[in-house]
Amino acid sequence: MRAGGDQYKMQTFDQHLMKLYEEKIIDIETAKSAATSASDFERNVAFY
């Protein structure tokens, strides 16, 4: 799903959380609390 996101319009739940966070719809704490893995989500934020 991660690789096919652009082509098939599919995304993981955590990818959607990242989008909401980037668009400032939710804050980091809300995103981490809903993420599959809070530490993984926080690590991915550092890459963006």
Q: Give the number of domains in the chain.
A: 1
Give the pLDDT confidence of 28-48 residue by residue, as tens digits: 999 999 999 999 999 999 887
d(CA 48, CA 42): 10
Q: Are 13 and 5 in contact (CB under 8 A)?
A: no
Structural domain that includes position 20: 5-47
When pLDDT is cut at 50, 70 and 90, the band that residue 1 belongs to is very low
Q: Are 36 and 9 in contact (CB under 8 A)?
A: no
Compute the mean pLDDT over every residue in the chain, rounded to the nearest whole number: 86
The conformation of residue 45, written as its DSSP 8-state character, comes to H
